[in-house]
Amino acid sequence: MELILISSAFLAGFFALKLGLPPLVGFLFAGFTLHAFGIESNSTIITLADLGVTLMLFTIGLKLDLKTLLSKEIWAGASIHNLLTTGTFTLVLLLLKYLGISSLAAMPIEQIALLGFALSFSSTVFAVKALQEKGEMNATYGNIAIGILVMQDIFAVIFLTASTGKLPEWYAIFLFILPLIRPLFYKLLDSVGHGEMLVLLGIFFALVTGAGLFKIVGMKPDLGALILGIMLANHPKSSELSKSLFNLKELFLVCFFLNIGLSAEPSLTGFALAILFILMLPLKGILYFGVLNKFKFRIRTSLLSSLSLLNYSEFGLIVAGIAFQLGWMSGDILVALAIAVSISFVIAAPLNRHGHFLYQYSAKWLKEHAAESLNPRDQLINPGSAQILILGMGRIGSGAYEELNNEHGDVCLGVELRDEAVNEHISEGRNVIRGDATDPDFWERILDTENVKLVLLAMPHHQANQIALEQLKSRSFNGQIAAIAEYPDQLSSLKEQGVDAAFNIYSEAGSGFARSVCEQLDVPLSK
């Protein structure tokens, strides 16, 4: 059985990838196809799927800036959108009920409102996957989308907890001790090194300390994993821990998408109702855009955030599943929602992939906010007298900055997306500004680039460097461009796109190491 599941998932995911769709669409299709042949989900698949979601929420927490979550555009934006979408969908569903849709006819208004609530959620799994594939997890719109999704997950967890009809155990109060012992967690992270013990410690934090403790006290385990991740987010190893768990999490999430397909039995009634849900999907996107635009974000930020969230959610499916178990919702509606979730992923995938093009097209007729009224994240950028732009101020970008400044004086301007990294660079005396180099408006907001003679593309994701390169070329940048890459095919791609120099970070690290050794040590070597 397992061999069939693995083979089907691989083949479907591979074909989806070749069609330009996220592999998860293939995994969903594989699940539906296998279910049609009588293969159902089993305890192993369900367990691995749950592990995948738990680890995903833990890794989201590791990357989450709590200040971002507490910003009004996140908590207020998520709350307002949830209320507006639930209300709008409830009205539409009531209209469909009175028009004679059989699956809705017997549902009282409170159950229809619950269905509207389930449809208001967007998929955390899909959005995170799409953002990771584009290398834009840390982009402004990516942070906003993830923040809203986390708030929605909290709403879902509150519902799931309330639906059990019981409060958490009285000893849940002891969970407030967790922040007090965070220094102990930090010491453990400091002491485990960088190998398999780091991975094992991450799993221990996510599944035992987080999910396990919350389950014991009668709360949703996934919430515990998310909170543990947030608690560890400020540790220097949080990024490394997230990367070390990446492949394991991705593997388990394959089972999650398979499980959705394996758990649903498509029917004509369910499919017809799913199409109606899909026709309602644009309303969700419009409401996202309207809410975010009210917080004075640029058109691009509001639009790309909305596209990332333009889908239905696996958490909405879980909410509907609980309602089905309690007798509040028919099986046809549950199946319809499962199909709608799958179709929404298929629709959202190309929209996200072509999000930048859609923005450039729509910006012609969507009204932008006045420059002085924009959100502080979107203000105009003045590069001053800088002659070298370094896009991405991680370890490689920072090293390049120091080397160039030592050789040529104060000629560099670093551009970094992460607020905390920008503040750290500034405190250390570097000329660094916050900006998203993949954002077309970033280049439009730069007041003057005539002095810039060289741009270094030093962002950690190849696709992000490619997008920045495309932006430079589209604006007829006359200076020289250099870029980093991890793999030979990426080097070839960059050179074909027109970079003046491309460097493999691993081979260059080796060359730099040898050069530094020769400079620092007097080793008598014979030829």
Looking up residue 8, the CATH number of its domain turns out to be 1.20.1530.20
10, part of any domain: yes
Same domain, 352 and 428: no
Same domain, 335 and 450: no
Same domain, 389 and 266: no
Dihedral over Cα of 6, 8, 9, 14: its sign:
positive
Same domain, 331 and 448: no
**Rounded Cα gap, residues 150 and 69, in angstroms:** 8
Q: Which pLDDT belongs to residue 436?
A: 78
pLDDT band at 379 (very low <50, low <70, confident <90, very high): low
Instruction: Count other Cβ atoms within 10 Å, centred on residue 491.
Output: 19
297, part of any domain: yes
Question: Are 410 and 431 a contacting pair, CB within 8 Å?
Answer: yes
Helices 23-36 and 238-262 meet at what angle, rounded to 10?
30
Average pLDDT over residues 255-272: 76
Same domain, 354 and 490: no
Dihedral over Cα of 335, 337, 343, 345: its sign:
negative
Which amino acid appears at position 183 of this protein? P
**Domain boundary residue among 336, 362, 388?**
362
Least confident of 264-268, 461-465, 502-506: 264-268
426, part of any domain: yes
Question: Are 499 and 481 a contacting pair, CB within 8 Å?
Answer: yes
Q: Which residue has the higher pLDDT, 183 or 449?
A: 183
12, part of any domain: yes
**Domain boundary residue among 333, 362, 391?**
362
Question: Are 266 and 335 a contacting pair, CB within 8 Å?
Answer: yes
Least confident of 27-36, 125-134, 518-527: 518-527
Tokens encoding 454: 């060289």
Q: Which pLDDT belongs to residue 122?
A: 93
Q: Is the pLDDT of residue 200 over 70?
A: yes
Instruction: Count other Cβ atoms within 10 Å, centred on residue 419.
Output: 15
Q: Which pLDDT belongs to residue 352?
A: 87
Same domain, 300 and 415: no
- DSSP tag of 380: -
Same domain, 326 and 400: no
**Rounded Cα gap, residues 156 and 215, in angstroms:** 16
pTM: 0.70
Question: Are 175 and 338 a contacting pair, CB within 8 Å?
Answer: no
Tokens 């719109």 belong to which residue?
A: 141
Question: Are 66 and 47 a contacting pair, CB within 8 Å?
Answer: no
What is the 3-class SS of 166-182, one letter each residue? CCCCHHHHHHHHHHHHH
Tokens 């738990």 belong to which residue?
A: 54
How buried is residue 372: exposed, middle or buried, by Cβ count under 10 Å (0-12/13-18/19+)? Answer: exposed
Residues 89, 95, 99, 103: what is their CA dihedral angle, to the nearest 10 degrees? Answer: 40
Residues in CB range of 86: below 8 A, 6 or more apart = 113, 116, 117, 120
Same domain, 195 and 304: yes
Looking up residue 417, the CATH number of its domain turns out to be 3.40.50.720
484 forms beta bridges with 503
CA-angle at 65, arms to 64 and 67, nearest 5°? 140
| 462-471 per-position pLDDT tens digit | 888 888 888 8
| 310-345 per-position pLDDT tens digit | 999 877 777 777 777 677 777 778 778 888 888 898
Same domain, 408 and 351: no
Among 411, 417, 410, 413, which Cα is nearest to 392's?
Answer: 417
Least confident of 268-272, 310-314, 317-321, 403-407: 317-321
367, part of any domain: no
Range(s) of the domain holding residue 10: 2-362
347, part of any domain: yes
**Rounded Cα gap, residues 152 and 163, in angstroms:** 16
Same domain, 343 and 404: no
**Rounded Cα gap, residues 488 and 477, in angstroms:** 26
Q: Which pLDDT belongs to residue 92?
A: 93
Instruction: Count other Cβ atoms within 10 Å, centred on residue 329.
Output: 23
Q: What SS3 class is residue 414?
A: strand
| 91-123 per-position pLDDT tens digit | 999 998 888 777 788 788 888 998 999 999 998
Tokens encoding 24: 């998860």
- 389 φ, ψ to 5°? -100, 125
165, part of any domain: yes
Question: Are 88 and 287 a contacting pair, CB within 8 Å?
Answer: yes
What does the mean pLDDT of the chain come to? 83
Same domain, 350 and 476: no
Among 88, 155, 524, 204, which Cα is nearest to 318's?
Answer: 155
Tokens encoding 83: 């209320």
Q: Please tell me the total count of domains within the chain.
A: 2
Q: Which pLDDT belongs to residue 43?
A: 82
**Rounded Cα gap, residues 174 and 172, in angstroms:** 5
372, part of any domain: no
Q: Which pLDDT belongs to residue 278?
A: 94
**Domain boundary residue among 332, 362, 392?**
362
Tokens encoding 297: 């974000």
Q: How many helices (H) and strands (E) does the chain have?
A: 25, 6
**Rounded Cα gap, residues 313 and 316, in angstroms:** 5
Same domain, 335 and 408: no
pLDDT band at 161 (very low <50, low <70, confident <90, very high): low
Q: Which pLDDT belongs to residue 276?
A: 92
pLDDT band at 291 (very low <50, low <70, confident <90, very high): very high
